[in-house]
Structure 1
Amino acid sequence: MEIIVISDTHLPKKNRGLPPVLKDEMKKADLVIHAGDWQTPEVYEQIKQFGDLAGVYGNVDGDEIKALVPRREILHVKGFTIGIVHGHGEKKTTEQRVIEEFAEEEVDVIIFGHSHLPLLRFVKKTMLFNPGSATDKRRLPYYSYGKLTIEEDIYASHHFYSSLL
């Protein structure tokens, strides 16, 4: 099973759209997960055209997005438990907030966004996975999205690109 993981699309911004490289990957995916900061419902509708979609809202998302997706979600996929939350809040680091968000549940993976910084690391037995931003890299040299591949185990990778065209 292939899962494409994105976050912090912040679209439309400067008339940008989803990059072709990401669209191509979403066409092949079994599931797309968005970790918040969609910005508009049109982005949700556009991504949903590619197939199954799960996601949460972030700090820039308004009531229209909040009506479509929850603040946090837990998915059970092929024997793995995946927690999804944007990660925004006050005090503490984004990583600390997402770990605390799922402290009462046994999750194998926590997917989050907010920082726009790609991250893959483990805290005890839980994988923390931030795909970075597919369309708003800020001061980073590359845009990025993530991919989870589930077979007997779960594998995570980041995919980087320099152009939205």
Structure 2
Amino acid sequence: MKKIVILSDTHIPARARHLPKILLNACEEADLIIHAGDWQTLEVFYELSAYAETVGVAGNVDPWEIVDRFGKKKILTVENLRIGIIHGDGLRKTTEQRAMEAFEHDEVDLIIFGHSHTPLKKETGGVTLFNPGSPTDKRMQQQYSFGILEVGEEWTVKHIHFDKEI
């Protein structure tokens, strides 16, 4: 069973000085870490990479070195699970609709996106949409959040919600 930590919208150092301990504890047990954009600094990548292989995409507030390193869209396969990753920013439509449209011509099982800072898990047309929320900038949400994806013969994805950014 592979354990994958999913996060987005860390916005360091603009929204937080550091990643919260609950997230880093989860990263200690991770086989892979997926970041869906708005890192704001490569230091976040370096910190996460110390725990496990880290992949991701750039978001709308990321500087050119992050865009250049990660790109804006990615598809990866873990076991037999095809995962699409995108930040979800853009014009018109909702973040969710933009994420779905980005992969409408690709065969994916799971689409991971961010941008809205709003945790979401929803199945539509045989594809699971998953927004982990943000572990550092909860905006209008009651709690901070990130996700855990477990992949084996079957796969599950869930949110981890927490109250304090520590």
The two structures have a TM-score, normalised by structure 2, of 0.96
The reply on whether 1:150 has 2:151 as its aligned counterpart is yes
Residue identity matched to 1:39: Q
Residue of structure 2 equivalent to 1:129: 130
- Once residues 127 and 99 of structure 1 are traced to their aligned partners in structure 2, the CA distance between those partners, rounded to angstroms, is 10
SS in 2 for 1:116: coil
- Aligned pairs for 1:16-55 (under 5 A) are 16-55=17-56
Give CA deviations for 1:68-97 in whole Å, capped at 9, x if unaligned.
Answer: 211110001101100000000000111111
- Once residues 42 and 79 of structure 1 are traced to their aligned partners in structure 2, the CA distance between those partners, rounded to angstroms, is 31
SS in 2 for 1:64: helix
The offset of 1:67, in angstroms, is 2.3
The reply on whether 1:74 has 2:58 as its aligned counterpart is no
Pair 14,94 (structure 1): closer, same or farther in 2 beyond 3 Å: closer
SS in 1 for 2:28: helix
The offset of 1:111, in angstroms, is 0.2
Percentage of matched positions with identical amino acids: 46
Give CA deviations for 1:92-126 in whole Å, capped at 9, x if unaligned.
Answer: 11111111100001100000000000000011110
Residue identity matched to 1:158: H
- Once residues 19 and 41 of structure 1 are traced to their aligned partners in structure 2, the CA distance between those partners, rounded to angstroms, is 17
- Once residues 14 and 20 of structure 2 are traced to their aligned partners in structure 1, the CA distance between those partners, rounded to angstroms, is 13
Residue identity matched to 2:13: P
- Once residues 15 and 63 of structure 1 are traced to their aligned partners in structure 2, the CA distance between those partners, rounded to angstroms, is 21
- Once residues 12 and 160 of structure 1 are traced to their aligned partners in structure 2, the CA distance between those partners, rounded to angstroms, is 21
SS in 2 for 1:68: helix
Pair 15,133 (structure 1): closer, same or farther in 2 beyond 3 Å: closer
Residue identity matched to 1:44: F
Name the count of aligned residue pairs: 165
The offset of 1:24, in angstroms, is 0.7
Uncovered stretches (5+) of structure 2, i.e. residues with no partner: none
Give CA deviations for 1:115-155 in whole Å, capped at 9, x if unaligned.
Answer: 00000001111000000001100121110000111121110
- Once residues 125 and 153 of structure 1 are traced to their aligned partners in structure 2, the CA distance between those partners, rounded to angstroms, is 15
The offset of 1:14, in angstroms, is 5.4
Residue identity matched to 1:60: V
Uncovered stretches (5+) of structure 1, i.e. residues with no partner: none
The reply on whether 1:141 has 2:142 as its aligned counterpart is yes
